[in-house]
Amino acid sequence: MGKDLNGKELGKGIVQRKNGLYQARVFSPGNSNGVCFYSRDLKEVKEKKEEFDRLQKEKVKINKMKLTFGKWFDQWMSIYKVGHIKETTVRNYWSAYNRCRRFLEKKKLGELDLDHFQKMVNTLYKEGYNITTIKPTISVIEQCLDRAVYNRFIPYNPCVGIIMDEKKDFTPVKEQTEDNKCLTNEELIKFFTAANGTRYMELFFILLHTGMRSGELCALEWDDIDFENGFIHVYKTINRVTRYYDEDGNKLDKPIQVIRITSPKREASNRYIPMYPQAANAFLSWKKKQDADKRNNKAWGKDNFLLNNYPNLVFTTTPGNPLTPTALYVECKRITEFADAHSLEDSKKNDTSYTKLNVHPHLFRHTFTTRCYEAGIDPLTLSMIVGHSKQKMTKHYTHPGTQFINSEFNKYTNLCINMQFDSNITL
């Protein structure tokens, strides 16, 4: 029996801490550590404990309801999430659930406990999932079960208390990977030489000189480009998302792929980008192509449902359909393969080696950020231009070359030019 600071009995499972705070610890199957309730009001602690005990007894009733986690997740999404969150977020929630469906779908809510979730997480680790994937997955499941607790389907959230393995063993990191580097001048020359005369050359040039994300570029309308003042207004993005529900919130028999223009994920992504004069010329060059498409095709844009709400999309296909980041990626790969083929041919003729070109649209964003940094642009200003909410993310996108690093270090060298090394001095 617990006792207060004066030695008075408080009741089973209740104690008073040295700071005067009352604590009630209750146990349940599958939760060996128990659940604790705290308050400076003894009556409140007792009421919480009694409520927990009462709900524990109702777990038998919950099992009789045969409400499985799979059915509850579906219900939770339909009632509490669809229509209240972005479609891309709905897709992410379902991706999280599908990742651990095999562990949860057929389990009754009243059967779930901490041990079950810990084993699930341990299995995901063993299967190769890392902490950056597991954490958001568990976060979705935890939200779902929080609502189940609120609805009094279960007495507590069995997700609370999961141990995440965040230890990081030392592994050598590659200096540059395909997804984490900036393009060299040589690589840029190779790419744009191969891209010259292709339909979407202007788009890659604009990506290089604005640092925009592919989705932001593809969502631009002509009104978003201020040629007079030299600014690009970025406030939306285009995505191909998996849709699980119809417009009325009813679950579809089978998920479908749809193209949507939405607001960006973060507030910092809503921004104005100063426009490099040559980027403005690239926009105007592209407009000639689009105008020619419209003249040559009377049915231009007929199948583009996005034109109803966004009638002046800048970047479209020849028939007038919306251009997507996926299409840009495919085109970028095609140009890269073309450039590699020529490099391979030249290397065979001259009996020399060649380095395979690795380019994808997002690397232009890394390259732009690095160039701005090397040009001496203020870090805070640069974060605002590229749409990062934290300068730490901008740093991740910045990859100064050896030459630049050496030139920067020369500032220190010049400062210490008169300080000579003396072997007789003990430091």
What is the tens place of the pLDDT at every residue in 248-260?
777 888 888 888 8
**Nearest C-alpha neighbor of 203 from the set 318, 303, 332:** 332
Task: Report pLDDT digits (tens) over 288-307.
Answer: 999 999 999 999 988 888 88
DSSP 82: B
**Nearest C-alpha neighbor of 203 from the set 227, 219, 184:** 219
Answer yes or no: do 48 and 82 share one domain. Answer: no
| Under 8 Å between Cβ of 325 and 315 | no
Task: Report pLDDT digits (tens) over 338-366.
Answer: 988 887 887 777 777 777 888 999 999 99
Answer yes or no: do 36 and 70 share one domain. Answer: no
Q: How many CB atoms lie within 10 A of CB 264?
A: 18
Answer yes or no: do 141 and 201 share one domain. Answer: no
Answer yes or no: do 137 and 183 share one domain. Answer: no
> Is residue 250 in a domain?
no
> Is residue 47 in a domain?
yes
Answer yes or no: do 6 and 88 share one domain. Answer: no
Strand blocks (E) in 142-291: 225-226, 231-234, 237-245, 251-262, 271-274
The pLDDT, as a whole number, for residue 425 is 42
Q: How confident is the model at residue 236 (pLDDT cuts 50, 70, 90)?
A: very high
Strand blocks (E) in 29-175: 31-39
Answer yes or no: do 282 and 331 share one domain. Answer: yes
Q: Do the bridges between strand 237-245 and strand 251-262 make them parallel or antiparallel, or are there none, so unpaired?
A: antiparallel
Residue 103 makes CB contacts below 8 A (sequence gap 6+) with 116, 119, 120, 123
Q: pLDDT at residue 40 above 80? A: yes
Answer yes or no: do 330 and 207 share one domain. Answer: yes
> Is residue 268 in a domain?
no
Answer yes or no: do 326 and 398 share one domain. Answer: yes
The mean predicted confidence, pLDDT, of the chain is 82
The pLDDT, as a whole number, for residue 423 is 44
- Angle at 104 (CA atoms; ends 102, 109), nearest 5 degrees: 160
Structural domain harbouring 70: 64-150
Q: pLDDT at residue 270 above 50? A: yes
> Is residue 168 in a domain?
no
Answer yes or no: do 92 and 218 share one domain. Answer: no
Answer yes or no: do 140 and 186 share one domain. Answer: no
| Under 8 Å between Cβ of 154 and 109 | yes
> Is residue 231 in a domain?
no
Six-digit token string for 304: 């583009």
The DSSP bridge partners found for residue 11 are: 2
Answering whether pTM is above 0.85, one says no
